[in-house]
Amino acid sequence: MNPREPIVRAEAWLCELAVERPRTDAMQSFRAQETVFVELTLASGARGLGYTYTIGTGGGAVLSLLRETLLPAVVGLDATRPEALWTALLDTTRATTVGAITALAIAAVDTAAWDATTRRDGRPLWQAAGGAQESVPTYDTEGGWLHLHVDELVQGAVAAQQAGFAGIKVKVGKPSLAEDLDRLTAVRAAVGSADGFEIMLDANQCFTLDDAIRRARAFEAIDPAWLEEPLPADDPLAHQQLARATTIPIAVGESLYSIRQFQTYASLGAATILQPDVARIGGITPWLKVAHLAETHSLPVAPHFLMELHVSLACAVPNGRYVEHVPQLSAITRTTQQVREGRLHAPITPGLGIDWNRDEIDRRRIA
């Protein structure tokens, strides 16, 4: 087999996926997932399908950057050299990095290249990227959205516990601390604390520093696993102050778009759980760098969203702690990840391990 695999064709298109259930947090509602696909064809005939996403806006901008700039630049490059490929894409977009649109666009190409080469080689992604562990614990997010009433929240938490999940993520950021505490206290009372069922908190960047400190100190009574994105993600110094003021672990990452942003948080001790999102960080290649960076600081990774892809990445590295269970690809895949004894298992099929339904993808194509 020729070790070199030039990319001979690159295509991109945009689909819109309705949310699988209503999703709200302290800052926004999740209306739809704009899913941008990239398909690469290699000289050998091997193909790879990669993707990226937004939660309702900006998908057209990502698609335009791909079609006008990145895909013409990628043809002729060697798909078997992910570092060289990723660097070439970055060099092509120097004027727009670091930035969300650029990172999202590069991620679609990078994931497609990994899919193509691992399919060609007959290897599943989790093994090709490291193969550290065959499964990781998973926690439920769907039962913890901010719009849910207290009784619905309790029902969702109990259902997740009975289904074997390792925990549940509860959104915080109600207008008053009392409202947040009422919800959290009810959930903790319902699930107890004896069996290790965790409660993860997520503020979606809604607090000011003083409010975050005040609320975190009150939240300590329910012993949460972490407080996620309590403050604007581009303010690591404020997160550092908060981390010093509370015993709750601070988690960040879904709104960070470069490796060095994660480096800043880790070096400052501003976060003790890193949550890289493979689309927002720019693909599998930089995601693995963040995971290894976290390992050097003795920090776990618990990636944000995209469970269908993140299960393979979290299994690839030794410090993959959790995968967030938020199904969003059911409409365009033939199979979905099944929770077994509170864990998700890495797909063993070659490539990304996502069983795409191309007919359903085509039906939802809007550009």
Q: Among 169, 171, 239, 289, which one carries the catalytic annotation? A: 171
In one-letter notation, the amino acid at residue 310 is H
Interatomic CA distance for residues 211 and 327, integer angstroms: 32
- Largest CA-CA distance found in the chain, in angstroms, rounded: 64
First-to-last C-alpha distance (Å) of the chain: 36
DSSP letters spanning 119-134: HHHT-BHHHHTT---S
Q: How far apart are CA 81 and CA 42, in angstroms?
A: 13
- H-state helical runs in the chain: 59-65, 71-74, 82-92, 100-121, 125-128, 150-162, 177-191, 209-219, 236-245, 259-268, 284-296, 307-316, 358-363
Q: Two tokens at 86?
A: 């990723």
| Candidate list 239, 304, 310, 345, residue with the active-site label | 304
SS3 265: helix
Cβ density class 40-75: b for 16+ within 10 Å, e for less: bbbeeebbbbbbbbbbeeebebbbebbbebbbeebe
Helices (H), 93-192: 100-121, 125-128, 150-162, 177-191
Of 331, 228, 324, whose CA–CA distance to 21 is shortest? 331
Give catalytic status of residue 171 as yes or no. Answer: yes
CA distance 186 to 174: 15
Closest to 189 (Cα-Cα) out of 223, 142, 218: 223
User: Residue 336: enclosing H or E segment and its boundaries?
Assistant: none
Tokens of 317: 């590295």
Residue bearing tokens 């509170």: 342
Tell me the residue length of the chain: 367
Q: How many CA atoms lie within 13 A of 211 on its CB side?
A: 16
Q: Which residues are catalytic?
A: 171, 304
